[in-house]
Structure 1
């Protein structure tokens, strides 16, 4: 599998949303954003590239976070002194946000979405600086955040991560060391419309193709390889 970044539709939407919010931050009082969607639609794949493109700070939320442990994590990642009380940590971080504008991405927001005191800390950062805070979560994140009216009213951009379409899958299959034929791409799009599953399939296809001397793989070839049957058998044996 060739190493090449694929600009999927989800990646493009997320990058445009974050850039729009960053451009509008000086005139907008709403600088929270939200991206959400199910497993395997490319959230992590998109985020890693977006962070590099925007020089954003990214934090993966932890279920074990308390107010202080979250503040210590933020301070440490920003290169600040992470000692002191909660109030001291908060003021130190806020001062840095006001000194230097930052985009912050909170990945796996679902893990703290019910911890209102943690979300309130981010609302305070938002209200007292120009920081842009973009939250990334699973499919239910938007509905859960609606219950927090104070924070939800500050969300200006929402991106819903969709299942990858045939253009995304075609581009991704183009990274394979063997040629994936159109009928197999269409099959992946219908039955495996997420990059994680397709990546796993291509890895197995490449191994089988090498053994059998195949340069191209059709849907018929794929079915004959028994990859899906093997996967189903492993699931049943667990």
Structure 2
């Protein structure tokens, strides 16, 4: 499988939210919420964005405390974590300010991504800390979860009011799956098979990747003869992927 990064519609929606942040009206609106079901590429996209932009990526933990969150933030920035809550908070602000200045010098956006943020979105102390860090530093924090963040933030209107954009990741359509296959699959895929991958996968990135592995496994041994690429007829009866709800194998129709 090619290591190519695919600019899916979900990626473009996230980029749009960042662009909107640049033109925000209220200076305190420095939070973005990204949510959606598992398997839609949220972690892949946000990790890559953070890595390419020299931004910070942290994965929230169920038993995080404010002290622990600040420690991990400082560790990501390779800064020592002092003892004492106030000293640690001030060190975080210093780190964020330095990274933001560095990014601005080269025309980049500096953001902090908090993945698995469902774990912290119902905890007042943690959400207040995130809001304070964003407010005081002026750095955007992106909260990534699986659909509970928006509902949880209703309990914290001061934090919810800081959310500039809500981005919901959705399954890919046929066009998106076709583009995904073209970019990543080492075997050319015909439109009929691409359409079946879209249907069988439900448009979920995780299942699309599984389908690509099986297509490559078959197609590299049995290269397609036509210019359109590997067809459903070529792969009839072959395993494509496993159904995410039942775990049952999904094979390409037409086999004996």
TM-score band, normalised by the shorter chain?
Answer: 0.7 to 0.9
TM-aligned CA distance change 1:223 to 1:116, over 3 Å? farther
| 1:31-42 matched pairs, under 5 angstroms | 31-42=30-41
Are the aligned partners of 1:25 and 1:130 in contact in 2 as well (CA < 8 Å)?
Answer: no
Task: Identify unmatched segments of 5+ residues in structure 1.
Answer: none
- Equivalent residue number for residue 172 of structure 1: 180
User: Higher mean Cα deviation, 50-59 or 60-69?
Assistant: 50-59
1:182 to partner: Cα distance? 0.8
Structure ranking higher in helix proportion: 1
- Equivalent residue number for residue 5 of structure 1: 5
Q: Give the Cα–Cα distance (whole angstroms) in 2 for the partners of residues 26 and 228 of structure 1.
A: 46
Match of 1:196 among 206, 215, 222: 206
Residues 1:138 and 2:137 are matched in the alignment: no
Task: Identify unmatched segments of 5+ residues in structure 2.
Answer: 101-109, 251-256
1:127 to partner: Cα distance? 2.4
| 1:66-215 matched pairs, under 5 angstroms | 66-101=65-100, 102-174=110-182, 175-192=184-201, 193-214=203-224
DSSP 3-state at the match of 1:224: coil
TM-aligned CA distance change 1:126 to 1:227, over 3 Å? closer
TM-aligned CA distance change 1:26 to 1:152, over 3 Å? closer
Are the aligned partners of 2:240 and 2:249 in contact in 1 as well (CA < 8 Å)?
Answer: no
- Equivalent residue number for residue 103 of structure 2: none
Structure possessing the higher relative contact order (Cα contacts under 8 Å, 6 or more residues apart): 1
Q: Deviations over 1:10-45 (max 9, x none)?
A: 111112212432x24696221111111111112122
Are the aligned partners of 2:120 and 2:127 in contact in 1 as well (CA < 8 Å)?
Answer: yes
DSSP 3-state at the match of 1:221: coil
1:200 to partner: Cα distance? 0.7
Are the aligned partners of 2:187 and 2:219 in contact in 1 as well (CA < 8 Å)?
Answer: yes
For the aligned residue pairs, the C-alpha RMSD in angstroms reads: 2.4
TM-aligned CA distance change 1:3 to 1:86, over 3 Å? same
1:79 to partner: Cα distance? 2.2
Q: Deviations over 1:115-167 (max 9, x none)?
A: 22111111111222211111111123222222221211110111111111222
- Equivalent residue number for residue 107 of structure 2: none
1:96 to partner: Cα distance? 3.0
Q: Give the Cα–Cα distance (whole angstroms) in 2 for the partners of residues 188 and 220 of structure 1.
A: 14
TM-aligned CA distance change 1:126 to 1:191, over 3 Å? same
Q: Give the Cα–Cα distance (whole angstroms) in 2 for the partners of residues 135 and 5 of structure 1.
A: 22
Give the number of aligned pairs. Answer: 233
Are the aligned partners of 2:239 and 2:249 in contact in 1 as well (CA < 8 Å)?
Answer: no
TM-aligned CA distance change 1:99 to 1:55, over 3 Å? closer
Are the aligned partners of 2:197 and 2:211 in contact in 1 as well (CA < 8 Å)?
Answer: no
